[in-house]
Amino acid sequence: MKQVLQNLGTGEMSLTDVPAPHAGRGQLLIHSSTSLISAGTERMLVDFGKAGWIGKARQQPDKVRQVIDKIGTDGFAATMETVRSKLDQPIALGYCNVGRVAELGSDVTGFALGDRVASNGNHAEVVAVPRNLCARIPDGVSDEAAAFTVIGAIGLQGIRLADPKIGECVAVFGLGLIGLLTVQMLRAQGCRVLGIDVDPARLDLARTFGAEIANPAAEDVLAAAGGFSRGAGVDAVIITAASKSNDIVAQAAQMSRKRGRIVLVGVVGLQLSRADFYEKELSFQVSCSYGPGRYDPAYEAGGRDYPIGFVRWTEQRNFEAVLDLMASGAIDVAPLISHRFELAEADQAFGLLTSGEASLGILLRYRAQDSEDLARRTVPVSGTVPAQPAAAAVTFLGAGLYAGRILMPAFKAAGAGLHRAVSGGGFSAVHLARKHGFAAASTDEAGSILDPAIDTLVVATRHDAHARQVLGGLRAGKHIFCEKPLCLTLDELAEIEAEAASRPTQKLMVGFNRRFAPLTERAKALLAQLRGPRAFIMTVNAGAIPPEHWTQDPDIGGGRIVGEACHFIDLLRFFADAPIASVRAQALGLPGDRGQCPDSATIQLAFADGSIGTVHYLANGDRRFPKERLEVFAAGRVLRIDNFRRLEAWGWKGFSGKRSWRQDKGQNGCAQAFVDSVRDGLPCPIPFDEIIDVSRASIEAAAMLAAR
């Protein structure tokens, strides 16, 4: 299938052949008929992509500060590599899609095959969209009209926040697509509307929809608002404009009546004058996209609807309301359509955004395609797949940022044969397959696991998929490299342990790369000279992650202790070279504290040889402080590894330390050791009992913290 993608680093737009997605749990698979280009949002993305480094920095000063802080802790080379990798990622454009349901994922109710639906799907021939972001289209509404549903919902949410009453006078600043739809919905609600813009053509459209108009470039807009409101001041202002100017908010405040309401839907300068707001006791609120549920993973991806008795208007119900207004004739989008293009002409359509030519609603139309072509879930990218399996012939399950920036280059450098890159959406798999030289890209997880041309799987998906994919790979006779964690529960661990034990010739390794770091190996060699138990202090300045991030969800990410702190438990296990005898964990804060993720904690380990270790995994520090520090006390001597850039030693004659200008956490060494073990028939680089030992300790520590 074809999909419109943009390179975030260069701004280049491409119509790319990607494997079709499938309907996951709670999703609809939709064959597209029409999609709408959002002139505001998508123009901003194009402009950002085409901007140089300085231009990008000016647009995102907060990101510049993060980069500067990272250079201080991780070094210039590692930081620039991370930045380039993020900018190299493609993004899927579009969020106003119309089509027919071709497949229903599990747990989907309220929709049927063949339904016409509007959704926030991308510009692609086939999209997979969570059910709460879809709405059925009434029979009287055309596909072209329905393509404006999502844009309309953005305006509708702004109206709901402004809470206008019948007969009130409302000013709408900015008469783009959202503004003109907002004008029509306000008129349908019985409001008097003043449309404000500098574009005469858009002002004329607003007038045809029943609004009075004002042009700030040609008249005193405050005087116009005063006359419009009969001298009382407008009841509410909805700002749908896109401008860097602070004047819009200032004028909105000045034209408002006492205790008026101002709602920001667009993007404008926000250097506010306290006097403008103080004297009138004005309310100012920023509207969040389509409505309640937006950016809530439980609602959008998880499909958990909000009870209608408590949240009347969610994203989905706003979609439905807009479609109902279209069906009744209260919203007319025909005058808003300025251009129509076939999908194959997408480059011309997006060229309009920066050409200077006047445009408004730009529609992309999708021709009916052969169903087999739309269902193709594996596409060739480069090279050919050998007829017979070769040693270390690899398929990657997961094509995210870490896999593309770290793991794929490491496996390629190690000499692995790169066969398939697999991702849920498909486009990231295509991008990384091209970049690193895979033979194919796919969205077909099951088929890729069973592919007879490969003998090795790299599992780099979200954590909740790891156990299922590891077990599937083992049962298919594959060697497995699983990026941490191995699994999320003790039951999963027991099943994996039993399956792997019954297949001793297959290798199962977890990406505990820090034990392969050059400074770790040097420290291990120094400690090998000593006898007796050791004491370890591992300090991890992990940094805060929002509670709603997927890694914090116990069912998806497993939490940060299972998901990342396992790295450091493994590092201590490696240095102790003895089984973990006991685990204790204590979270930051008082027992029973609510609203806090247990991701700031101390984990105490005791080892069978008498060694002890403490992992301080902390999310409440300053990012400018180095992330990782290990101190080892043994036989009157001390070692310290600082952020895998410096090793210091006290008590060793002839050696006081080693410094590296480039941070090396051992990812390349880890991949090389694993590939060598597969290719040459060597023992697995990390003994299986150690992997189980560390995984069990991590899960147990997380359970202790969750039960506090």
The CATH number covering residue 41 comes to: 3.90.180.10
For residue 523, tell me if it sits in a domain.
yes
Amino acid at 654: G
Is the pLDDT reported for residue 386 higher than 70? no
SS3 444: coil
d(CA 556, CA 551): 7
Residue 116 and residue 65 share a domain: yes
Pairing status of strand 13-17 against strand 2-7: antiparallel
Residue 339 and residue 265 share a domain: no
Residue 384 C-alpha from the chain's centroid: 32
The arithmetic mean of pLDDT across residues 585-604, rounded, is 81
For residue 294, tell me if it sits in a domain.
no
For residue 164, tell me if it sits in a domain.
yes
For residue 388, tell me if it sits in a domain.
yes
44 or 194: whose pLDDT is higher?
A: 194
d(CA 276, CA 279): 6
Please give the model's pTM, rounded to 2 decimal places: 0.86
Which H helix or E strand runs over 7?
strand 2-7
For residue 428, tell me if it sits in a domain.
yes
- Give the CATH number of the domain where residue 495 resides: 3.40.50.720
Residue 698 and residue 639 share a domain: yes
For residue 697, tell me if it sits in a domain.
yes
For residue 315, tell me if it sits in a domain.
no
pLDDT tens-digit series, residues 264-310: 999 999 988 898 899 899 999 999 999 999 999 899 999 999 999 99
- Of 55, 52, 2, the C-alpha closest to 32 is 2
- Of 5, 6, 8, 89, the C-alpha closest to 53 is 8
d(CA 265, CA 154): 8
Pairing status of strand 601-607 against strand 580-587: antiparallel
Tokens of 662: 């480039």
Range of the domain at 54: 2-148+333-365
Residue 667 and residue 537 share a domain: yes
d(CA 599, CA 263): 36
- Of 296, 257, 294, 292, the C-alpha closest to 277 is 257
Residue 524 and residue 413 share a domain: no
Residue 112 and residue 163 share a domain: no
The arithmetic mean of pLDDT across residues 206-229, rounded, is 97
- Give the CATH number of the domain where residue 648 resides: 3.30.360.10
Tokens of 123: 């510009």
For residue 370, tell me if it sits in a domain.
no
* pLDDT computed for residue 23 by the predictor: 94
Residue 700 and residue 552 share a domain: yes
Is the pLDDT reported for residue 380 higher than 90? yes
Domain end among 511, 527, 550: 511
Residue 486 and residue 529 share a domain: no
Residue 663 and residue 539 share a domain: yes
Residue 591 and residue 506 share a domain: no
Number of domains, the chain? 4
pLDDT-derived band of residue 688, with 50, 70 and 90 as boundaries? very high
Domain end among 478, 511, 544: 511
> In sequence order, what E strands does 247-397 have?
256-264, 283-286, 337-342, 361-365, 378-380, 393-397
pLDDT-derived band of residue 389, with 50, 70 and 90 as boundaries? very low
Tokens of 73: 């802790």
Domain end among 229, 258, 286: 286
Residue 484 and residue 573 share a domain: no
* pLDDT computed for residue 47 by the predictor: 62
Residue 6 and residue 115 share a domain: yes
